[in-house]
Structure 1
Amino acid sequence: MNTVIDPPGANGESLQEGHAAHLEQTLLQAHALIESTVSLYRRQPVDHLAADPTDVALLDSALVQLIGPVRHSLSVAMTRPGDFSDRVLRLLTRVGPEVAVRVLCTPEAAEASLASLRRLPETRLEVRVSERELREVVVVDGAGALVRSAGGGDGQQATVVNDAAAVRALELLFAGTWSRGRKLADHLGLSPRLRSDLTRKILERLRAGHTDDVAARDLSVSLRTYRRHVAEIMRELDANSRFQAGVRAVELGLLAE
């Protein structure tokens, strides 16, 4: 499966704008490619499927076969505690120090797996946390991958992907989300207030330039309560202005760029 991407910079747009448009187009095409690939593999014979999550032995075997031979790079996305995360974390302890390992977690997965993550060798390991919706995935050496289908429940499937274009698409999608994640140490340093849904909504309105009264009305809180929240957020972010608070929020992954 191949995809053709037009080069950026058309119609006189700036290099930066062209790069952003090119990256967005690439990620969108990567997402579509992943969905079509997973759908294709589901229609093929069952030996292409890694496991149903209820079949622990089969899932474990698929992960061992995929992660065991890793030589250069390993990218992992974990969405929640459970069979997938537990087995991946156990296998990561066997990975050699020469392998560059990137682990991307949701806040829930990071907090549930914190003890295990801290026990992993730190030589070439980096852990980041993302607020974005993730799909559980493992990509090994850019040559093979395992993808868990979206959603939970007993019907969730895991698909082994060996198609080069599909694996590359997975790498691109992972890299895009990774670049917007925050380092685990930064995540752990955030107060619970900064990780709340209300804080995210307030930061979004600050960035959009909404006036305090409009933002308070949108959030169904009093103007006084809204301004108190803003002051507390700025203090938590060690920001002297609302603009600086927005910059810090992007740096910490609380807001997308």
Structure 2
Amino acid sequence: MSERTSGTGQCDVSLAPVRVGDEFEQELLEVSALLASTMVRRRDRLHRDARVCVIDVPHIAVEAAARLVTDAVTRVDVVLAAEHGYSRAVYQALTERLSADGGDRLAVRLLCTPSTLDWRFVTAYAAEPRVETRVARIPALAAVIADDEQALVCADSAAGRRASATGSVGVIRPLRALFDGVWRNAVVVADRIDFGDRTRTEIAQQILERLRAGVTDEVAARELAISVRTYRRYVAEIMSLLGATSRFQAGVRAAELGLLLARSPGSRR
């Protein structure tokens, strides 16, 4: 598996294209465009409407997102599918908020992409039912919804990448509904998937590659120099670890979690 880990524990994983949740991605793009166009139309009236604020300065947008997390009282829903600078700030704010007084009353739902998933954060809160993390393939978007009362969205628009902060129920409600839809179909991340020792991890990755490629059990077992029975036992164990009910679902979840090996030129497709 090709993986680069930054000093913050974030993992950059090379993934092959997997067409999962296209309908939700399209919905997300449509809502992002709607939000952006709404903010642009209202920009000239912002001095009369304090419920919506366009933020053009990147570091101010990052600070605003972190502040929403810090000020949240009962729940916060977060989408991290943007640049790592934004993600790092939000992860730090989440960690500080969960460690502060009253943090045990805060429910957190964190929706990431494979590249913005921070395993240190996942591991630290794996035993906390109030903190849930899922992974999905979603467009470049960052968002924070705090207590269903305040939200900040950073997305691409016709006017360029910009952030919009709002307390408007008319904007927050569809954003929350969209989050819920993507969340239901995202891959649950309970903790780092552990296949055992290094040898078993390498075998598991090779098996996952063959599941993705649709190789038959007999061919895959021959390529890995193991018996078909052993290969099928490995497959069953991998499916159990991934919480998958089918081989296809195991392949999808492995891709979303960044467990597949990087493809090299001329590799099997």
Match of 1:42 in 2: 40
Q: CA RMSD in A?
A: 4.2
Tell me, in whole angstroms, the C-alpha distance in 2 between the residues paired with 1:195 and 1:132.
26
The structural deviation recorded for 1:66 is: 2.4
- Equivalenced residue count is 203
For structure 1, the 5+ residue unaligned runs are 1-23, 207-211, 213-222
Deviations 1:197-230 (A, max 9, x none): 966853xx69xxxxx7xxxxxxxxxx9579959x
Match of 1:102 in 2: 109
Relative to 1, partners in 2 of residues 1:51 and 1:197: Cα closer, same or farther, differing over 3 Å?
Answer: farther
For structure 2, the 5+ residue unaligned runs are 1-21, 47-51, 196-200, 240-244, 257-269
Query: Per the alignment, in what secondary structure is the counterpart of residue 116 of structure 2?
Result: helix
Tell me, in whole angstroms, the C-alpha distance in 2 between the residues paired with 1:158 and 1:200.
40
User: 1:131, 1:254 within 8 Å by CA — same for their partners in 2?
Assistant: no
Relative to 1, partners in 2 of residues 1:28 and 1:163: Cα closer, same or farther, differing over 3 Å?
Answer: farther
User: 1:144, 1:161 within 8 Å by CA — same for their partners in 2?
Assistant: yes
Query: Per the alignment, in what secondary structure is the counterpart of residue 136 of structure 1?
Result: strand
Tell me, in whole angstroms, the C-alpha distance in 2 between the residues paired with 1:173 and 1:196.
34
Deviations 1:36-73 (A, max 9, x none): 222221341588123432xx2x1243124423331221
Match of 1:235 in 2: 234
Match of 2:9 in 1: none
Tell me, in whole angstroms, the C-alpha distance in 1 between the residues paired with 2:83 and 2:206.
19
Tell me, in whole angstroms, the C-alpha distance in 2 between the residues paired with 1:179 and 1:195.
29
The structural deviation recorded for 1:31 is: 5.5
Q: Which of 169, 187, 193 matches 1:188?
A: 193
User: 1:74, 1:99 within 8 Å by CA — same for their partners in 2?
Assistant: yes
Q: Which of 120, 127, 131 matches 1:125?
A: 131
Relative to 1, partners in 2 of residues 1:141 and 1:188: Cα closer, same or farther, differing over 3 Å?
Answer: same
User: 2:75, 2:146 within 8 Å by CA — same for their partners in 1?
Assistant: yes
Q: Which amino acid aligns with 2:234?
A: R
Q: Which amino acid aligns with 2:161?
A: Q
Match of 1:9 in 2: none
Q: Which of 154, 161, 164 matches 1:159?
A: 164
Relative to 1, partners in 2 of residues 1:59 and 1:132: Cα closer, same or farther, differing over 3 Å?
Answer: closer
The structural deviation recorded for 1:30 is: 7.2
Query: Per the alignment, in what secondary structure is the counterpart of residue 115 of structure 2?
Result: helix
Relative to 1, partners in 2 of residues 1:101 and 1:195: Cα closer, same or farther, differing over 3 Å?
Answer: farther
The structural deviation recorded for 1:150 is: 3.8
Relative to 1, partners in 2 of residues 1:114 and 1:140: Cα closer, same or farther, differing over 3 Å?
Answer: same
Relative to 1, partners in 2 of residues 1:122 and 1:165: Cα closer, same or farther, differing over 3 Å?
Answer: same
Match of 1:71 in 2: 73
Q: Which amino acid aligns with 2:130?
A: R
Tell me, in whole angstroms, the C-alpha distance in 1 between the residues paired with 2:221 and 2:142.
36
